[in-house]
C-alpha cells in the first residue's frame, strides 16, 4: 500500500494543501487507519473504474449524484462508513422505512461487478460508496479531491440503529448539533455538509410539516420562515390528497443538478426546502457561515473538501474489524 497524499481543491497552492492535510490528521481520528492511493499496488485502476461507472450512470440519469451523496450520509452516520446500508434482509438498515427512499444502489453494484472482474476480493463496498459520492460531487460541478481508502465492510446491519443516528428534517438546531458532535463533526461541518442539499430530490412527506390542511382540504403554509411564492410552488407540486411518498421536488429549485453554492443563496432567500435547512439561517450560531458560503463558492468548496473527508472517516473499520464482500448485498 502506498500513502502518497495528493488532494486537489480549486485554486489551492502547496501551502493550502499542507494545511488541509495537517488539519485532516488532527480532526479525523480514523484517518491514520486509512491511506491515500490505498489500491495503487493491489488494484491501480480501482478509482478510475468507480469514477467511470458513476459518470456513465449520471449521464443517463442526472439524479444519480444526489442519490449517491445521500447514500453515503446514511451509511456513515449509522455504524460508520462500512457499507452496512447495502446489506439486504429482514431487520437490516436498508429495510428501515427511513431508508426505503434511498437510491444509487445499482451504481455501487455495477462498480463492484467490474472491480471483482479485474481485482477480485480487493476493493471494499465501503470504499466504493465513499469514492462514488466523492466522484458524484465532481461530476455535478463540485470540487475534485482525493480521499483515503482502506475501509473494510461491516458485518452488522440493524434497522434499530437507523432512526437514532440520522437527521430528521424537523430537527432543531440543538438536536442536529448533538447528532453531528456524536459523529466527531463540528458546527462548521454541519453547515458545510448541509450544502449537499444543493443537489438531489426530496419526497413531499419530508417537508409536509411546514404545511397544514384547512377545512376545505387545501394546504396552507404554517411555517412563516418560508418564502410565500416558493411555498405556493411546493403546494402545486405536492397538493393535498397527492402521494407524499412518491411525488418529489428538487432540494435546490434554482440549479437542481449542479453542485454549487446556490443552496446557501436559497437559504438567504428563505427557500430552504426543509425546516432543518431554514434553521441554519435563523440561528445566530450558523447564520454568518451561511452568508459567507452564499457569497463565496470557492470558500464553500474548500470547506466541503475538509468536512467531506471527516464524514468519510467516521468509525471506519480496518484489518480484522471487517471484511471485503464479494457481493455488496450480503456478508461473506
What are the structural domains of the chain? 45-200+251-312 (1.10.520.10)
What digits encode the pLDDT tens for the residues 94-152? 999 999 999 999 999 999 999 999 999 999 999 999 999 999 999 999 999 999 999 99
Annotated binding-site members: 75, 78, 80, 82, 84, 93, 197-198, 252, 255, 260
Alpha-carbon distances of 115 from 1, 55, 142, 155, rounded to whole Å: 18, 16, 25, 20
CA end-to-end span of the chain, whole Å? 24
What digits encode the pLDDT tens for the residues 163-216? 999 999 989 999 999 999 999 999 999 999 999 999 999 999 899 888 887 777
What is the spatial distance between Cα 288 and Cα 253, in angstroms, rounded to a whole number? 22
What is the spatial distance between Cα 307 and Cα 24, in angstroms, rounded to a whole number? 9
For residue 141 the three cell numbers come to 460541478
Q: How many residues in the chain?
A: 332
- CA-CA-CA-CA torsion sign (308, 313, 315, 316): positive
Q: Which of 125, 87, 89 is nearest to 107 (CA)?
A: 125
Annotated binding-site members for heme b: 197
- CA-CA-CA-CA torsion sign (81, 86, 87, 93): positive
pLDDT for residue 241:
67
pLDDT for residue 245:
63
Annotated binding-site members for Ca(2+): 75, 78, 80, 82, 84, 93, 198, 252, 255, 260
Residues noted as catalytic: 74
Please tell me what DSSP assigns to residue 165.
G
pLDDT band at 12 (very low <50, low <70, confident <90, very high): very low
* Least confident range of 16-20, 81-85, 97-101: 16-20
With 0-12 CB in 10 A as exposed, 13-18 as middle and 19+ as buried, what is 138? middle
pLDDT for residue 252:
96
Amino acid at each position: 500500500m502506498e500513502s502518497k497524499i495528493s488532494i486537489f481543491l480549486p485554486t489551492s497552492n502547496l501551502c493550502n494543501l499542507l494545511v488541509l492535510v495537517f488539519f485532516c490528521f488532527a480532526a479525523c481520528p480514523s484517518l491514520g487507519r486509512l491511506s491515500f492511493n490505498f489500491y495503487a499496488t493491489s488494484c491501480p485502476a480501482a478509482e478510475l473504474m468507480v469514477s467511470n461507472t458513476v459518470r456513465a450512470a449520471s449521464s443517463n440519469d442526472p439524479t444519480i449524484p444526489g442519490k449517491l451523496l445521500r447514500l453515503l450520509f446514511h451509511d456513515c452516520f449509522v455504524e460508520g462508513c462500512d457499507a452496512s446500508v447495502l446489506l439486504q434482509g429482514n431487520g437490516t438498515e436498508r429495510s428501515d422505512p427511513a431508508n426505503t427512499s434511498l437510491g444509487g444502489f445499482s451504481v455501487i453494484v455495477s462498480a463492484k461487478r467490474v472491480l471483482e472482474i479485474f481485482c477480485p476480493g480487493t476493493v471494499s463496498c465501503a470504499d466504493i460508496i465513499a469514492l462514488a459520492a466523492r466522484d458524484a460531487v465532481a461530476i455535478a460541478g463540485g470540487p475534485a479531491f482525493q480521499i483515503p481508502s482502506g475501509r473494510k465492510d461491516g458485518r452488522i446491519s440493524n434497522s434499530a440503529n437507523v432512526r437514532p443516528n440520522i437527521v430528521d428534517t424537523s430537527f432543531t438546531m440543538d438536536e442536529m448539533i448533538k447528532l453531528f458532535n456524536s459523529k466527531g463533526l463540528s458546527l462548521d461541518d454541519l453547515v458545510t455538509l448541509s450544502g449537499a442539499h444543493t443537489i438531489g430530490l426530496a419526497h413531499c412527506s419530508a417537508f409536509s410539516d411546514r404545511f397544514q390542511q384547512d377545512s376545505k382540504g387545501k394546504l396552507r403554509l404554517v411555517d412563516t420562515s418560508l418564502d410565500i411564492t416558493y411555498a405556493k410552488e411546493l403546494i402545486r407540486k405536492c397538493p393535498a390528497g397527492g402521494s407524499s411518498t412518491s411525488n418529489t421536488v428538487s432540494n435546490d429549485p434554482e440549479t437542481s443538478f449542479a453542485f454549487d453554492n446556490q443552496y446557501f443563496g436559497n437559504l438567504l432567500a428563505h427557500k430552504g426546502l426543509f425546516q432543518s435547512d431554514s434553521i441554519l439561517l435563523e440561528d445566530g450560531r450558523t447564520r454568518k457561515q451561511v452568508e459567507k458560503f452564499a457569497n463565496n463558492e470557492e470558500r464553500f468548496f474548500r470547506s466541503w473538501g475538509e468536512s467531506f473527508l471527516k464524514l468519510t472517516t467516521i468509525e471506519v473499520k480496518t484489518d480484522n474489524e471487517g471484511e471485503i464482500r464479494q457481493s455488496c448485498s450480503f456478508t461473506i
